Amino acid sequence: MGVIRHLRKPKILTTIQTMSEKKPLNIGLVGYGFMGRTHSNGYKRVNDFFPDVEYRPVLKAICARNEERANDFASQWGFESVETDWKALIARDDIDAIDICTPNDTHASIAIAAAEAGKMVLCEKPLARTTEESLPMVEAVERAGVANTVWYNYRRVPAVTLAKQIIESGKLGKIFHYRANFLQDWTISEELPQGGEGLWRLDAAAAGSGVTGDLLAHCIDTAIWLNGSISDVSAVTETFIKERVHTDTGEKQAVTIDDACLFHCHFANGSLGLFESTRYARGHKALYTLEINGENASIRWDLHDLNRLEYFDHSDESTVRGWRSIHISDGDHPYLDKWWVPGLCIGYEHTFVHQVADFLSSLSSGEPCKPTFRDALETARVCDAVLASAAERSWKDV
Ligand code: SOE
């Protein structure tokens, strides 16, 4: 494959739609933070690298309360217009899809209003703060029959997608164990306030929960996708710093998010799961790791080395049997025929380009772009069960 890719002739232009032939999909993005940038980059890059998709995202409007900063964002990223009220954005006839990149407490109202207005809805993870808040969102998009997806982007790291394909091929056999970590260290300082830009993640009113909804939700989404449903959980949470100044009030207020969360669980397929997440693991910035052990083979993956998949196959000849470290960069690997040539890497931002490509393809095929709101509801249920288990110090069914 590698040689073929190096030698491949350029495709004849007539087989690819020109940009003007593609169907425009007018995007209204709400929120210009870190996630607003990752999504915008996805929309901008997708047609360059996925020429087969029939749609062409148009950065029609950016919406945020701070008009000056929204204008700056629009100029930098190439949005055609600015709105300061998401209701006005949703009311516009020239917007096809609303993309929600705001703090978690705003997801439900924006998504429900967008669906009711007949707009497609793309929502940053987690779907909302709780299952209770998430369910009406699922009902709204399903009632309206609008395309929807949640940006659990790590599914679309090529190595993780390959893990899914290997598991589905049956190579692992019966699964015994699934374990995942998501470790960070950015909230260790007591001086860090809660609330406000970026720091809303420390404020339970805005975020819903701490590491459970912010980080473990990623691990849970991937776990359900790779290994099926989680049946019950037993969890421990800790809040290491009990009070922080709130950005809005300037006063010290109780911290009510979970700073760290550990849980173990049963999967419906009979395997055991072990999960850990914290923002207090000094030295770890975004160490998302996962491992799955089956009777015949095992797989492990690490976000800090995202283009590698480690694979152990017990059926290998015993003298050379061992963990293989597979560099996921070949055109045979998921998504990678769209990028460079074998041996050259892609990164974090590409996962968002992949999600846009899959979303646009889903509009052509009519197949949902996973995870849908309903898929993300299952993750919300597990998060709620985890938090309830920790609060009540008991096992909880999902
Ligand atoms: C938190 O630091 C955070 O940015 C999450 O909000 C993202 O979902 C995760 O992918 C990286 O870490």
Distance 214 CA to ligand 1 centre (A): 6
Nearest-CA residue for ligand 1 atom 11 is 286
pLDDT at 253: 96
214 touches ligand 1 (CB under 6 Å): yes
188 lines ligand 1 (CB under 6 A): no
Task: Please tell me the pTM assigned to this model.
Answer: 0.96
CA of 182 to the centre of ligand 1 (A): 10
Q: Is the pLDDT of residue 8 over 60?
A: no
Average pLDDT, the chain: 96
pLDDT (mean) for 258-287: 98
Instruction: Quickly list H helices, the chain.
Output: 2-7, 34-49, 67-77, 86-91, 107-116, 131-144, 158-168, 204-207, 211, 217-227, 348-365, 373-392
Percent of the chain, pLDDT > 70?
96
Quick one: pLDDT at residue 6? 57
What confidence category does residue 34 fall into, taking pLDDT thresholds of 50, 70 and 90? very high
Compute the average pLDDT of residues 350-374: 98
By most ligand atoms within 8 Å of CB, the mutation choice from 150, 187, 200, 215 for ligand 1 is: 215
pLDDT for 361: 98
Higher pLDDT, 17 or 256: 256
Please report where in the chains the tokens 């000094």 appear, as a residue: 282
Residue 1 has pLDDT above 50, yes or no: no
pLDDT digit string (tens) for 118-170? 999 999 999 999 999 999 999 999 999 999 999 999 999 999 999 999 999 99
Cα(351)–Cα(348) distance, integer angstroms: 6
pLDDT of 268 higher than 90: yes
User: Which pLDDT belongs to residue 2?
Assistant: 46
- Cα distances from 321 to residues 237, 279, 314, 316, 343, in angstroms, run 39, 37, 7, 5, 24
- Taking CA atoms only, the protein residue closest to ligand 1 atom 1 is 214
pLDDT above 90 as % of the chain: 95
pLDDT digits (tens, 9 = 90+) for 328-349: 999 999 999 999 999 999 999 9
Q: Is pLDDT above 70 for 186?
A: yes
124 in contact with ligand 1, CB cutoff 6 A: no
- Ligand 1 closest atom vs CA 186: 2
The residue whose C-alpha atom lies closest to atom 9 belonging to ligand 1 is: 215
Q: Kindly indicate the confidence band of residue 17, based on its pLDDT and cuts at 50, 70 and 90.
A: confident
Q: Among 38, 151, 154, 214, which residue has the most ligand 1 atoms within 8 Å of its CB, making it the best to mutate?
A: 214
| Alpha-carbon radius of gyration of the chain | 22
**Can you tell me the distance from the alpha carbon of 205 to that of 210, in angstroms, rounded to the nearest whole number?**
11
| pLDDT tens-digit readout, 197-252 | 989 999 999 999 999 999 999 999 999 999 999 999 999 999 999 999 999 999 99
286 lines ligand 1 (CB under 6 A): yes
